[in-house]
Amino acid sequence: MSPAAPLPDDLRRFILTSVPSVPFLEALLLLRGRPDHAWSVAEVARALYVPEATAAGVVQALRDVGLVEPDAADAQLLHYGPRDAALAAMVDRLAEAYRVDLIGVTKLIHDRVQKNATRFADAFRLRKGN
């Protein structure tokens, strides 16, 4: 199997700025895969094997960035609904990149999360001589 091509710069930037975690990405792709299905938070949690509280946070994050919307018949349910065509096209590209290079995409997300955690910890670390 040949290595995946590097991610285009705009897609890489999108992942780094708009995909806060792997559960966020997996929830997004789950809902995108069945756009006509109305999902409950409990159903998302079961599908992702995460606690409902985690799924609720991920679903809220997806709502906040305009990737999902409440179902017209029941506001407690949601479905995939990007706020515009450009965002939908970027998510389509992300889905393809994830399909082709799951490890590369998840590594990019994990590396960014780790760097952010390290920066946060460094901000509180007492330095010798301070």
Q: Give the pLDDT score at 91.
A: 97
Q: Give the pLDDT score at 19.
A: 93
Residue 3 scores a pLDDT above 60: no
Report which of 34, 32, 55, 61 is spatially closest to residue 43, judged by C-alpha positions: 55
What domains appear along the chain, each with residue ranges and CATH number? Answer: 9-122 (1.10.10.10)
Residue 11 scores a pLDDT above 50: yes
Query: Which pLDDT tens digit goes with each residue over 22-51?
Result: 999 999 999 999 999 999 999 999 999 999
Residue 4 scores a pLDDT above 80: no
pTM given for the model: 0.81
With contact defined as beta carbons under 8 Å apart, do 78 and 34 qualify? no
Query: Which pLDDT tens digit goes with each residue over 79-127?
Result: 999 999 999 999 999 999 999 999 989 988 877 544 444 444 444 555 5
Residue 52 scores a pLDDT above 70: yes
Mean pLDDT of 1-29: 86
Q: Give the pLDDT score at 127.
A: 53
Cα–Cα distance measured from residue 42 to residue 18, given in angstroms and rounded to the nearest whole number? 24
User: Half-sphere exposure of 56 toward its Cβ, with a 13 Å CA cutoff?
Assistant: 5
Q: Give the pLDDT score at 112.
A: 55
